[in-house]
Chains A and B, each alone.
Chain A
């Protein structure tokens, strides 16, 4: 059943591509910092958000599998675990930003506050020391859960101890609510506070939906590609693909629902504190970006994935997953860049660096983690049931 030869092998081409993109991405980011530090900082925020959401999203999916005792995803769980391996490296991406906060965040300029009582109220939360503490704590908490859950999963490969599954279920049950709160804090700090006047209680949920789609999309690409090239140690059937496709479909719809709710409620109430975020995004070239985003992340995937055969077809799944990753990048770009330039959409070296560096980090970390580790959780008691799964 399990091809032990393929267990620990990941093609060198993946690794090479990953490292190439990573080095190129770092180079371009450094150059963009030299050219325009402010623009580059915004670009780095985008990179941080993209990598963090895909990474923590992947860990979320691992946790959900444990908590719901799902079996269909067990044969494919390892790729998700490898993807979440970016979590320990997030702090590296954040450091250049933490040293650069006055360029990025309006609220760091205290002098502006004295006329705005609302900003004054926020000062106990929006101040540099507390911000840094929160960033470190969030990344530490994420790393802690990552370390414990993944370690149990790896150990189980050799010990086949069912108690580790029970442990991971308990850890995941604790992780899910903590994930919700920490991702919300991340979204408020790095994204919402870019427009310090603005607030929206649903924003954490909005980022969550994007994270869920993007992490599922990246995992789908990796799993399907490896499986189709016959490099996966077990046979993943179209029935497994169907579930991946269903989640992509469901969560891209969920993204649209949350995004629309936020927009409609703030449009309807028409209060200055809330519309201040949307005004730049519905005029000029940003309006084009907004409409493109809706089509990219909702309309096209909806019709593309609605039929059952589409959800089971490997080629279509890879295509739509790449599409959805690009849509997530556009989503982050749409959330961040209108703060940098409210008048029109910008596309410069920083954006290119963002895209290349993000994919480079994800791919290189994935291949790095996959080397020397089993691609399938061979010790997991649910593995056999998962392999026999069909719809």
Chain B
């Protein structure tokens, strides 16, 4: 069967000979030829008149791309998307980004260069080259040097080229042929071993990814944050008989910063005796008292504490607060009434009015009383 000729190979036993051969071949006008050496020989590039390689441009351009991408991304992430102050540094902390810029530049540059070298410049991987696995290459990878002039060169003529190579002092000159393809691409793809291996790889990789994302991430320890051993609000509890997971505070619990009211509900005598107004009648306190009085007290007591209120007739009317006994009653009485209510008719306002504000209301009330009875003795 006639095989297609790839070219003629010549084997030499010294670097000087192969250098001379390359020079001669170039001089002879051959362009489609190559030298084969176990290590790069100095001067061979010039002998073959090879143009300089521009692969460095890939490194520079893709490397710079890496640098610019990184600084753009970090600027966007830290100044636009989720601006966060860490360590007191500004959002665009460029000195921090310089090490990252450098690393990304090097990474992008290096990876792109290697991939470009292999895939584009060298056309590797390729195990189908005519010289691959030939006796010629086996000698080259050991200790010989060689030239191969390809048949596709315009100056190629099998007889003339062969004799030309012999004149160069070659150890061995012989032709190289393309490997006859004993199978077609279709046969390769439909080969049962190939199909089975593709199916196996697909199954294993998709199975792994599925298991990883849908199963593994849901077991401990990755799920530790999902099912924590703590009580969630508004859930059922098997432990307590009433089924509530949320429990009320124990009887007698006092909330933070809350002082319990010392006297019993109806004990206004002690309230009178012991509770003293801690606030001073500053303009702020008076305004606070006025605001609160108008808000909370005026619906029943009226704006001037005389019982003339908006709710007259719909609620049991409170008495006027300007009676003689009330004029001289101490502040503690009023405080006690606001806190506990009065004889079941007036409710407690302790939950609506904080303690300080209750005292402010008392001041305001005193002001109202004073305004209507300026000369009467008003308890201080």
Please state if A306 and B60 are interface contacts (CB–CB under 8 Å): yes
A279 located at the interface, meaning its Cβ lies under 8 Å from any Cβ of chain B in the complex: no
Given A306-B60, A307-B56, A270:B95 Cβ within 8 A: no
Interface positions, chain B 54-96, Cβ under 8 Å from A, are 56, 60, 87-89, 95-96
Residues of chain B contacted by A390 (CB below 8 angstroms):
42
Please state if A264 and B98 are interface contacts (CB–CB under 8 Å): yes
Please state if B95 and A263 are interface contacts (CB–CB under 8 Å): yes
Q: Which of A260, A270, A306 contacts B98 (CB 8 A)?
A: A260
Bound complex: CA of A390 vs CA of B42, how far in Å? 10
Chain A, residue nearest B42 (CB): A390
Please state if A270 and B60 are interface contacts (CB–CB under 8 Å): no
Chain B, residue nearest A268 (CB): B95
Please state if B88 and A270 are interface contacts (CB–CB under 8 Å): yes
Bound complex: CA of A163 vs CA of B60, how far in Å? 47
Bound complex: CA of A186 vs CA of B96, how far in Å? 31
Please state if B95 and A264 are interface contacts (CB–CB under 8 Å): yes
A389 located at the interface, meaning its Cβ lies under 8 Å from any Cβ of chain B in the complex: no
What bracket does the count of chain B residues touching chain A fall in? Answer: under 10
**B interface majority secondary structure:** helix
A130 located at the interface, meaning its Cβ lies under 8 Å from any Cβ of chain B in the complex: no
Chain B, residue nearest A266 (CB): B95
Bound complex: CA of A307 vs CA of B87, how far in Å? 40
Residues of chain A contacted by B87 (CB below 8 angstroms):
268
Bound complex: CA of A390 vs CA of B45, how far in Å? 14
How many A-B pairs with Cβ below 8 Å? 16
Interface positions, chain B 86-120, Cβ under 8 Å from A, are 87-89, 95-96, 98
Chain B, residue nearest A309 (CB): B52
A198 located at the interface, meaning its Cβ lies under 8 Å from any Cβ of chain B in the complex: no
Count A-side interface residues using an 8 Å CB cutoff. 10
Interface positions, chain A 304-340, Cβ under 8 Å from B, are 306-308
Chain A, residue nearest B59 (CB): A306
Residues of chain B contacted by A307 (CB below 8 angstroms):
56
Interface positions, chain B 28-46, Cβ under 8 Å from A, are 42
Residues of chain A contacted by B60 (CB below 8 angstroms):
306
Bound complex: CA of A287 vs CA of B113, how far in Å? 37
Interface positions, chain A 261-283, Cβ under 8 Å from B, are 263-264, 267-268, 270
Residues of chain A contacted by B56 (CB below 8 angstroms):
307-308
Interface code A149-185, partner B: CB below 8 Å = 1, 0 otherwise?
0000000000000000000000000000000000000
Residues of chain B contacted by A270 (CB below 8 angstroms):
88
Interface positions, chain A 361-391, Cβ under 8 Å from B, are 390
Chain B, residue nearest A260 (CB): B98
Interface positions, chain B 197-244, Cβ under 8 Å from A, are none
Please state if A267 and B88 are interface contacts (CB–CB under 8 Å): no
Residues of chain A contacted by B98 (CB below 8 angstroms):
260, 264
> B308 to nearest A CB, angstroms?
67
Residues of chain A contacted by B88 (CB below 8 angstroms):
270
Q: Which of A267, A306, A308 contacts B95 (CB 8 A)?
A: A267
Chain B, residue nearest A303 (CB): B60
Residues of chain B contacted by A264 (CB below 8 angstroms):
95-96, 98
Residues of chain B contacted by A260 (CB below 8 angstroms):
95, 98
Residues of chain A contacted by B89 (CB below 8 angstroms):
268
**Residue of B42, B87, B89, B95 ringed by the most chain A CB atoms within 10 A:** B95
Bound complex: CA of A306 vs CA of B88, how far in Å? 37
Bound complex: CA of A57 vs CA of B134, how far in Å? 56
Residues of chain B contacted by A268 (CB below 8 angstroms):
87, 89, 95-96
Bound complex: CA of A268 vs CA of B56, how far in Å? 35
> B94 to nearest A CB, angstroms?
10
Bound complex: CA of A267 vs CA of B87, how far in Å? 12
> A65 to nearest B CB, angstroms?
23
Identify 16 residue pairs between A and B in the complex whose beta-carbon atoms are under 8 Å apart, listed by A's number.
A260-B95, A260-B98, A263-B95, A264-B95, A264-B96, A264-B98, A267-B95, A268-B87, A268-B89, A268-B95, A268-B96, A270-B88, A306-B60, A307-B56, A308-B56, A390-B42
Report which B residues bind A (CB closer than 8 A): 42, 56, 60, 87-89, 95-96, 98
Report which A residues bind B (CB closer than 8 A): 260, 263-264, 267-268, 270, 306-308, 390
> Closest 4 CB pairs between A and B?
A264-B95, A267-B95, A260-B98, A263-B95
